[in-house]
Amino acid sequence: MAKNTDVLSIFDILKRVPSIIPDAPKLIEALLRLRLTPSDKEFNYTQLFVKQVKKQKSRPFISDEYSKHSYQDFNNWVNRLAHQFQARGIKKGDKVVLMLENSTEQMAMSYALSKIGAISALINTSLRKDSLAHCVGLAQPHIIIAHHHFIEAISDVQHKLQDVPQEYIEYRGERDNAPSIEQQGKTAFDLLCSDNPESEPVISDPTVAKDACFYIYTSGTTGMPKASVISHGRWLKAYCAFGLSGLRLKKDDSLYIVLPIYHATAMVVCMTSVIAGGAQAVIRRKFSLSRFWPDVKENNITAFGYVGEICRFLLNAEPHSGEKDHKMTKMIGNGLRRDIWMEFKDRFGVEQICEFYASSEGNAAFFNALNLDGTIGLSVNPFAVVKYDTDEDAPVRDSKGRMIKQKPGDKGLLLAEITKLHPFDGYTEKTQTNKAIYRDVFKDGDAYFNTGDMVHLMGFRHIFFEDRMGDTFRWRAENVCTVEVESSIMEFNRCEQSIEHAIVYGVKVPDCDGRAGMAAIKLSEDTPAERFDLDKFHRHIASLMPAYAVPVFVRFINEVQLTSTFKYQKSGLKNDGFDVRKVNDPIYFLSPNNNKYIKLTPDLVSQKELWQQL
């Protein structure tokens, strides 16, 4: 099996160039569009969709479990909805909250609002109580449109919504036992708008590239979610980076989307890829391990929108008869760990992995245009990787107060320069936007967006992701990268096929500086914790990692908690620490006396002198 490289050579780059030559016209179009569309130029991203409608017409564009639409049919529906919104007084700059699951309905309404210059606030459907009320409040919407499953959730925060009108929908073709909208005393939204015209809506105040089209909520490391602004110009940048330059789909391709559309990976990255290629989007409400390969086969899927945790689930699953008998050879997404990159490609026959890096609020994007293994690719945006002091939780500055750039092969904090061509749209709250900006970084007057991410600089404008800054912890005066430790733990499966998930984080220890490493391990069903060979596991980790990076604690968990975007939920585990008085899971401690893992008991936890030996 081939291995990933940490530093690229000119030969690594040159041998990939021939593969992109057939798509040279798309690459040229991408560069021209980026250069010729400044932030103050009139532009609406739906223009690019309409351009494809004229080309593709009756070809399939989008489908979900219950409905299918051609390019022309979907655009007609979008236009009917746009006319309806206009008739109700919705105009440029107005916000509409959409609390909907993955569906053609969700896509149609958001595109309709974008056509008339309004803004879709895409609410995470798992939000409840204060978080839900907070996110709706940030949008200050004219109306809330939600699926009837969420009537109760919205009713719970009714007193905080300031009499914002609410209307509800039912998905076409869906059958469930829930009471109807009318039975619950609520107003139904006219989803089909059958009597409305299908012509393109006319707007008196056209949008420009810097105008917002979506609010996408990012889960902050502390506090409530923040609403990041996706502008029409940022949608265009994604179209050029991921659609024209990265994945480069063709009209016969079908992209499988199981990621939530209320996040940017699905709504922006995946959908720009589809529209740029005149391809088809196959949407599902959520990821299903049991249905994945049958769905891929039945729908002639050729590409897949992923996050790394889904790839891990697929790898951990028992071999499926459909995992080789398919046409899915392309992927676009983020978070595919380097330790499983080649194994995933080889097992499932994937030929192209367009790993990317971007954030909902950020102004930098990296994409693996050259299909190199183990990298999130290159960026055409100006960026810097700077030296970072984890103890001070701040970039290192020289005697002149300037930050220090790292060299290829080094790790550091990723910063993205803010320029007129690469603006930082930020958040709806100005104070949050200002907090994310470093100024006077390398010279007076410059400004950079702080991504908060540690990356490894590979050279030739390529990087690979190391960790979120908050997940890099300090122990024994050294920085420990959780991704590296997790990858080393998963390599134990090469001799012991027993670990399904490994989640590494730092925990506070009494009278110790920094945080000690803890590995929360989810074992396979046929491997109880009592049978797991901790001595062998320790020898394995110690052979790969420096002593300070070897987990001091090992916790065996029964289930993995994920966020709505399938990322590991670490906050609860961190808060638990190693207090066996409140944690039922077995926790083992690497004893400094014999360098072996022993089971923690309340008595051991209370021995202060034990922790002083660390």
Among residues 157, 214, 154, the alpha carbon closest in space to that of 168 is found at 154
Q: In 104-261, at which residue ranges do the beta strands (DSSP E only) sit?
A: 119-122, 143-147, 166-169, 212-218, 226-231, 254-257
Same domain, 534 and 564: yes
The whole-number pLDDT of residue 222 equals 37
399 and 547, same structural domain? no
Confidence at 475, pLDDT banded by 50, 70, 90: confident
What is the SS3 assignment for 166? Answer: strand
**513 burial class (0-12, 13-18, 19+ CB within 10 angstroms)?**
exposed
Nearest to 285 by CA among 166, 171, 127: 171
Work out how many domains the chain is built from and give that number: 3
- 482 and 460 inside one domain: no
> What does the pLDDT look like over 415-438, one tens digit per residue?
999 998 888 877 777 787 888 899
Q: Are residues 245 and 97 located together in one domain of the fold?
A: yes
What is the β-pairing status of strands 280-283 and 254-257?
parallel
For the chain, the C-alpha Rg in angstroms (whole number) is: 25
What average pLDDT does this structure show over 23-28? 92
Q: Read off the pLDDT of residues 36-77 as tens digits, 9 standing for 90 and up.
A: 888 899 999 999 999 999 999 999 999 999 999 999 999 999
CA–CA distance, 55 with 50 (Å, rounded to integer): 9
Is pLDDT above 90 for 292? yes
Pairing of strands 437-439, 447-459: antiparallel
Out of 367, 396, 423, a domain closes at 367
Cα distance between residue 110 and residue 46, in whole Å: 10
Give the domain extent around 138: 10-367
Average model confidence (pLDDT) for the chain? Answer: 90
Q: What pLDDT digit, counting tens, does each position of 179-227 carry?
A: 889 889 999 999 999 999 999 999 999 999 999 999 998 754 334 678 8
User: Crossing angle for the helix pair 104-115 and 46-56, nearest 10 degrees?
Assistant: 120
**Lowest pLDDT segment from 129-138, 340-349, 378-387, 564-573:** 564-573
Q: Are residues 453 and 543 in the same domain?
A: no
Between 114-123, 164-173, 544-553, 563-572, the lowest mean confidence (pLDDT) is in: 563-572
Closest CA to 337 of 484, 173, 182: 484
Based on the fold, state whether residues 445 and 560 are members of the same structural domain.
no
CATH number at residue 544: 3.30.300.30
User: Is there a single domain that holds both residue 389 and residue 353?
Assistant: no
Residues 45 and 189 in one domain: yes
pLDDT at 604: 86
Work out whether strand 366-367 and strand 352-357 pair parallel, antiparallel, or are unpaired. antiparallel
Judged against a pLDDT cut of 90, whether residue 440 lies above it is answered with yes
CA angle 311, 314, 319 (to 5 degrees): 150
The answer to whether 523 and 490 are in contact (CB under 8 A) is no
State yes or no: pLDDT of 2 exceeds 60.
Answer: no
- Look up tokens 């991504």; give the residue: 451
Q: Which two tokens stand for residue 312?
A: 């891990």
Question: Quick one: pLDDT band at residue 564, thresholds 50, 70, 90?
Answer: low
| Whole-number Cα distances in Å, 223 to 128, 273, 470 | 14, 33, 14
Question: Mean per-residue pLDDT for 343-350?
Answer: 96
- 351 and 388 inside one domain: no
pLDDT of residue 393: 67
Q: Do 185 and 263 share a domain, yes or no?
A: yes
344, 367, 390 - which closes a domain = 367
User: Last residue of a domain, which of 321, 338, 367?
Assistant: 367
Residues 448, 405, single domain; the answer is: yes
pLDDT of residue 224: 64
* One domain for residues 481 and 456: no
558 close to 585: Cβ distance less than 8 angstroms? yes
